[in-house]
Chain A
Amino acid sequence: MSRISDRFASLHAARRPGLIPFITAGDPLPGATVAVMHALVEAGADLIELGVPFSDPMADGPVIQHASERALAQGVGLAQILGWVREFRTRDTATPVVLMGYLNPVEIHGVQRFAAEAVEAGVDGVLLVDCPVEEIATARPLREAGLDQIFLAAPTTDPARLEKVCAAAQGFLYYVSFAGITGAGHLSTEAVRERVGQIRRLARTPVAVGFGVKDAASAAAIAQFADAVVIGSALVDTLAHSADAAEAVRRAGAFLAPIRAALDALRTGHAA
């Protein structure tokens, strides 16, 4: 069992929907990332997605693009990010950490080398946005090293592909709630509910839903039928305006706590 499946198993047992915040590593301040991760856990995060900034984030909207640009301007790279995960693990050995980003930084670092270093640092899973299941061979060293390879499913994913994606998925499946970029806003809860229902019948992993979740209300709406909700752009946008690390920590907690409360208020146990 991986740290990710352990976490989802205990969420399931507690009939609790999972809450997965996404932050761009190194934004708004490289020195704040580890403290923000701890603050998110204290405010109720079940798993943390740490975005690896890339110069050409073709699937991301303006909020995460700008976060990446800010982080890159401060020289944030993979080695530093793995260092932050290692530091996070000295105080938190339970909360899974997933790195989310694009292939090129991993390729240039060396997939094999990255896999070994990520495992050593305490990373649990990797989501490579531009590595669909067809190119799975590229990421084989990640699996071999024991990292969960997280895949995306989208509204455009047809049934045949969905089976392939579900078969390959490890840890959890990330369902992209609408065809678009991160941070865009048109979430149709009913359409998502229907799709997630189909996916949950096929998937052997839990299903998390992201894109378009921006506050307690939208998170609670999705959590009625998903195993977990991912919330990214809205959080990244909130952190962006922090003057210093202490403020980023405060903002992270203040942002996530009401969402956690809204999810806990559900506790309807849809997964039963």
Chain B
Amino acid sequence: MSMATTSPHTGLFQNRTKPSFPFSSSSFKFKPTSIKCATQLHTQAPPLTHSQDRVFNFAAGPATLPENVLLRAQSELYNWHGSGMSVMEMSHRGKEFLSIIQKAESDLRALLQIPPEYSVLFLQGGATSQFAAVPLNLCSSPDSAVDYVVTGSWSDKAAKEAQKYCKPTVIWSGKPEKYTKIPSFHDLEQNNNSGYLHICANETIHGVEFKDYPVPKSGVLVADMSSNFCSKPVDVSRFGVIYAGAQKNVGPSGVTIVIIRKDLIGNAQGVTPVMFDYKIHDENDSLYNTPPCYGIYMCGLVFEDLLEQGGLGEVERRNKKKAEILYSAIDGSKGFYKCPVEKSVRSLMNVPFTLEKSELEGEFIKEAAKEKMVQLKGHRSVGGMRASIYNAMPLAGVEKLVAFMKDFQARHA
């Protein structure tokens, strides 16, 4: 098959169309004053572009960002919308940055259709900080019981951290089967008085993804969605808390988004550091201290881009197509490539695979890198390869990888 090539000047044809959405906030009006460079009007959503000088970056996080977002950020890094300063230089309490963070929140609410009884927080410290913040805020005492389903390394770390602040129980662990499965929800033996049930919606390292969510017997459902956030629609109302590091699907590292039902706010333990107290951040609109301003701005550009693509339903369709192409190539290789994850819970975002001839793995990775497909090495705790194909990885990148995989197999069969 022929590979579509993009020219270095593709970016010049980007034209931002802004479909109207019924969810836009009436509390402010976003009035961009940037100067747009466009010589051609597209009525369709702009495709994910790929300049010739860029690689296809399969890193797990930080990860590839939409090229048009990067180009837009670049164009206004020095002087944002005629403000006379960079976003990096703005007071977080000035009207410019307030408009940026409010629009980011508004667009995120539109994307995920977040109900009004939830707060959206833009925090720091990564998902790892939330491993502590969740029990510190949701468990009124260190004696509170909570349940953890452990489907991979990240939910395991979350359960371990929770031991400092409450009494967590691992009610199911995929470790015996090397984290290739998700439990049947009917078989889960949940604690009757659990404060919450915690899951990791997508395990970045092992490539295991919840396609549906369990219902807690007591308490609320809490999910770490770091590596599949905004990759598909989610019924937020099924959760008490969703938290996600931004650096896979929605922005650069350094921003952590927490979506929390308001009635869960305000019960933090006495030893909770002020920066881990959801009430402090909620009451101060994430501006209690200086937030990671530039990262939030970048997330805002990504949210805007996702809306322009047609929202998360459309995004999910693209992600499914990309994942299908790659999984089909693996499954159709007659064993040359293997993905160990149970098919019903294979991740749309992180695709781990090994070679039947493991001695060829180093060569595979090196050759792919020469073909400008980088960061395919699997996590150090797992080995093999891992292709992270988040929202911003264009279909062309997956197609190129698949073509390479077939060629590599042909040359080493």
Asked if chains A and B come from one complex, the reply is no
Interface residues of chain A, those whose CB is within 8 Å of chain B, are none
